[in-house]
Chain A
Amino acid sequence: MLASQNNSNDEMLTNDGIPLKKKLAKSLFKSRLRAFGLVTPLLLLISLGFVFPILVFLTRGVYNDTFEKYMINLTPMLAEWDGKTEPTEEMFEALVLDLVALKKSKNIGKVASRMNRELSGSRSLFTSSARKAKKLEFPFKESLIQVKKKWGNLDTWRAMKVTSHSLTPVFLASALDMKYTADGTIVQKPEERRIHVRLFVRTLEISLIVVIAGLILGYPVAFLLASLPIRISNLLLILVLLPFWTSLLVRTTAWIAMLQGQGVLNDMFVVFGIATDEDRFTLIYNKAGTLISMTHILLPFMILPIYSVMKTISPSYVRAAKSMGATSWTAFWRIYFPQTIPGIGAGAILVFILAISFYITPALIGGQDGTMISNFIDYHMRKSLNWSLAAAMGGVLLVIVLFLYWIYDRVVGIDNMKLG
Chain B
Amino acid sequence: MGSNSFVRFQNVQKSYDGEVLVVKDLNLDIPKGEFLTMLGPSGSGKTTCLMMLAGFETATHGIISLNGNPINNIPPHKRGIGMVFQNYALFPHMTVSENLSFPLEVRGLTKTTREDKVQWALDMVQMSEFGNRRPAQLSGGQQQRIALARSLVFEPDLVLMDEPLGALDKQLREHMQYEIKHLHERLGVTVVYVTHDQSEALTMSDRVAVFNDGIIQQLATPPDLYERPKNAFVAQFIGENNKIFAEVIEIKNSIVSARTSRGNIIKGKKVNCGEIGSKTTLSIRPERINVGVKSENTSEAEILELIYIGDHIRCRMLVEGDQDFIVKVPNSSKVMNLKIGQKTKVSWLINDCRALDTLGE
Contact = CB atoms under 8 A, between A and B. Distances in A.
Contacts of A328: 77
B102 A319 contact: no
B70 interface: no
Contact of B106 (A319, A325, A338): A325
Interface of B: 54-56, 75-83, 85-87, 89, 91-93, 102-103, 106-107, 150-151, 154, 160
A316 B89 contact: yes
In this complex, the member of A316, A319, A320, A324 whose beta carbon has the largest number of chain B beta carbons within 10 angstroms is A324
B77 A325 contact: yes
A120 to B, nearest CB: 59
Contact of A317 (B55, B81, B83, B89): B89
Interface of A: 314, 316-317, 319-328, 330-331, 334-335, 338-339
Contacts of A317: 89, 91
A322 B57 CA distance: 13
22 contacts: A314-B87, A314-B89, A316-B85, A316-B86, A317-B89, A317-B91, A320-B85, A322-B56, A322-B75, A322-B76, A322-B77, A323-B55, A323-B76, A323-B77, A323-B151, A324-B103, A324-B106, A325-B103, A325-B106, A325-B154, A326-B103, A326-B106
Contacts of B89: 314, 316-317, 319-320
Given A319-B89, A323-B83, 10 more contacts: A314-B87, A316-B85, A316-B87, A319-B54, A319-B56, A319-B76, A319-B83, A321-B91, A323-B55, A335-B91
A335 B89 CA distance: 11
A317 B106 CA distance: 15
Given A317-B91, A330-B106, A324 B154 contact: yes
Nearest to A330: B106
Nearest to A338: B93
Contacts of A335: 91
Interface of A is mostly: helix
A327 B87 contact: no
A319 B85 contact: yes
Contacts of B150: 324
Contacts of B160: 323
Contacts of A330: 106
Contact of B102 (A321, A327, A339): A321
A338 B102 CA distance: 14
B91 A325 contact: no
A323 B91 contact: no
Nearest to B81: A323
Contacts of A338: 93
Chain B contact surface mostly:
loop
Given A320-B83, A320-B85, A334-B102, A327 B77 contact: yes
Nearest to B160: A323
Nearest to A327: B77
A338 B99 CA distance: 14
A325 B86 contact: no
Contacts of A316: 85-87, 89
Contacts of B86: 316
B156 to A, nearest CB: 9
B64 to A, nearest CB: 15
A324 B91 CA distance: 12
A319 B75 CA distance: 11
Nearest to B150: A324
Contacts of A331: 77
Q: List the 10 shortest-distance A-B pairs measured between CB atoms, nearest first.
A: A324-B103, A320-B89, A323-B83, A316-B89, A322-B76, A338-B93, A326-B106, A322-B77, A316-B85, A325-B106
A319 B55 CA distance: 9
A140 to B, nearest CB: 77
Contacts of B92: 339
A322 B83 CA distance: 10
Given A317-B91, A321-B102, A335-B91, A326 B83 contact: no
A334 B296 CA distance: 68
Nearest to B86: A316
A248 B236 CA distance: 66
Contacts of A322: 55-56, 75-77
A325 B108 CA distance: 11
Contacts of A321: 91, 102
B109 to A, nearest CB: 11
Greatest chain B CB density within 10 A among A316, A323, A335 is at A323
A225 B321 CA distance: 58
A323 B93 contact: no
A99 to B, nearest CB: 71
A323 B80 CA distance: 7
A326 B102 contact: yes
B106 A323 contact: no
A339 B154 CA distance: 24
A389 B118 CA distance: 62
Contacts of A334: 102
B13 to A, nearest CB: 22
B355 to A, nearest CB: 44
B47 to A, nearest CB: 12
B100 to A, nearest CB: 10
Nearest to A316: B89
A93 B78 CA distance: 95
Contacts of B151: 323
A229 to B, nearest CB: 12
A338 B80 CA distance: 24
Contact of A339 (B54, B75, B76, B93): B93
B309 to A, nearest CB: 35
A338 B94 CA distance: 10
Nearest to B98: A334
Nearest to B76: A322
B359 to A, nearest CB: 35
B82 A323 contact: yes
Given A314-B89, A316-B85, A317-B91, A323 B102 contact: no
A321 B83 CA distance: 10
Given A330-B106, A338-B93, A339-B92, A323 B87 contact: no
B250 to A, nearest CB: 55
A314 B54 CA distance: 17
B163 to A, nearest CB: 12
A260 to B, nearest CB: 47
Nearest to A337: B93
- Most-contacted residue by chain B among A320, A322, A328, A330 (CB, 10 A): A320
A338 B92 CA distance: 10
A140 B62 CA distance: 112
